[in-house]
């Protein structure tokens, strides 16, 4: 049985080493989902933070953190159009060898309002990023360190490694559309094409080793029910190399009759063949807070006892106060 556990952990580790940083709350990490969503929000500035911790019950926890800031740029006085610009930072530690990923990504987008009103918005965006991967070989155990009874850290592993870090640049493109129907239904969807340049990625200077292209498609719908409440189903599909992920589910938004506490959210999604994702959220003033938990139902549940990982998201949107027009004061004439 111990051998089975080890094989399952290794298979999961290989899968994660081959895929990008991703979040169960994909909708709460918009710049990671699609660069075309840069600046696409109601407000002037948006700040986003995401934290994920998973599989602490079976191995060294896989910890991921993401932070981004983007802005809606309207100073160019374009006719029915505006720009978005943002900066994204990701960091991730995975597995016994502390396989690390650090990314700094610049994102830009152009948004065009189509039609006589603002109900239909088409967007195109791109990003350019610097990436660094690291690994700590001294945290691994090798066959040469087995002394006949146990693994001995004091024994040499007799292994030679070319490098403990690698660096590369890559870029991505995305498109997105938003449409608001007359009955206040809102539809949003897009496509993203990531790692278009297929950067070389190898600790052993293997020039034939490339980071596979990644594609994702996402769609969501906001369906009003009663006066202020709504149902918000969503679907997202990721494909990178031979790996696939498919999410389907949704959340209910319950509007609160409070000037500060605006909305409550409760939702559930499934990551096909892997886990159920349960989420609760709160909208307080300009803050959006979400917490979710993955309950694993794949073969890994044998060793994880169904425990996947928790995730926290925090979004703050800042809107500049509107300028108030004050007419010039005219001096009244003096009457004698």
Q: Is the pLDDT of residue 144 over 80?
A: no
**Is residue 11 predicted with pLDDT exceeding 90?**
no
The pLDDT tens digits of the residues spanning 32-48 come to: 999 999 999 999 999 99
Q: Is the per-residue pLDDT at 199 higher than 60?
A: yes
Burial, 247: exposed, middle or buried (Cβ in 10 Å; 0-12, 13-18, 19+)?
Answer: buried
What pLDDT, in 10s, does the model give residues 263-293? 999 999 999 988 999 999 999 999 999 999 9
Cβ atoms 109, 134 nearer than 8 A: no
* pLDDT score of 13 more than 50: no
Domain coordinates in residue numbering, the chain: 2-318
Residue 15 scores a pLDDT above 50: no
CA dihedral 251, 255, 256, 262 (to 10 degrees): 80
**pLDDT for residue 4:** 37
Report the topology of domain 2-318. Porin (2.40.160)
pLDDT of residue 200: 83
pLDDT of residue 22: 81
Position with higher pLDDT, 8 vs 96:
96
> What is the rounded average pLDDT for all residues in the chain?
85
The pLDDT of 194-201, averaged and rounded, is: 90
Residue of 184, 283, 267 whose CA lies nearest to 233: 267
What is the mean pLDDT of the segment spanning 227-242?
92
β strands within the chain, DSSP E:
45-54, 62-73, 81-94, 99-114, 120-134, 165-180, 186-194, 214-225, 229-240, 243-255, 261-271, 275-284, 287-296, 307-318
pTM of the model: 0.85
Q: Answer yes or no: is pLDDT of 328 > 70.
A: no
* Report for 66-70, 113-117, 308-312: range of highest mean pLDDT: 66-70
The distance of Cα 216 from the centroid of its chain, to the nearest Å, equals: 12
Number of residues assigned to the chain: 336
């Amino acid at each position: 049985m111990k051998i089975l556990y080890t094989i399952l952990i290794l298979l999961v580790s290989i899968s994660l080493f081959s895929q990008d940083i991703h979040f169960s709350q994909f909708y709460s990490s918009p710049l990671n989902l699609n660069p075309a969503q840069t600046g696409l929000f109601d407000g002037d500035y948006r700040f986003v933070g995401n934290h994920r911790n998973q599989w602490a019950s079976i191995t060294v926890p896989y910890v991921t953190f993401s932070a981004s800031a983007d802005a809606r740029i309207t100073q160019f006085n374009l006719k029915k159009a505006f720009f978005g610009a943002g900066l994204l930072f990701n960091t991730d530690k995975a597995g016994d060898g502390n396989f690390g990923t650090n990314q700094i990504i610049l994102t830009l987008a152009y948004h065009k309002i189509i039609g006589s009103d603002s109900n239909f918005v088409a967007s195109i965006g791109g990003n350019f990023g610097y990436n660094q991967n690291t690994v700590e070989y001294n945290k691994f155990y090798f066959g040469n360190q087995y002394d006949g009874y146990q693994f001995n850290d004091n024994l040499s592993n007799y292994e030679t490694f070319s490098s403990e870090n690698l660096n590369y640049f890559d870029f991505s493109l995305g498109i997105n559309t938003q449409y608001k129907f007359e009955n206040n239904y809102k539809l949003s969807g897009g496509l993203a094409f990531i790692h278009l340049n297929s950067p070389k990625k190898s600790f052993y200077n293997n020039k034939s080793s490339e980071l596979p292209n990644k594609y994702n498609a996402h769609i969501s719908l906001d369906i009003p029910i009663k006066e202020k409440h709504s149902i918000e189903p969503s679907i997202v599909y990721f494909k990178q190399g031979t790996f696939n992920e498919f999410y389907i589910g949704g959340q209910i938004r319950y509007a609160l009759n409070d000037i500060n506490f605006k909305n409550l959210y409760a939702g559930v999604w499934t990551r096909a063949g892997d886990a159920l994702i349960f989420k609760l959220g709160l909208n307080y003033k300009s803050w959006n807070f979400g917490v979710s938990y993955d309950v694993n139902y794949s073969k890994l549940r044998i060793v994880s006892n169904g425990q996947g990982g928790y995730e926290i998201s925090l979004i703050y949107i800042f809107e500049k106060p509107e300028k108030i027009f004050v007419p010039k004061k005219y001096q009244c004439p003096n009457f004698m």
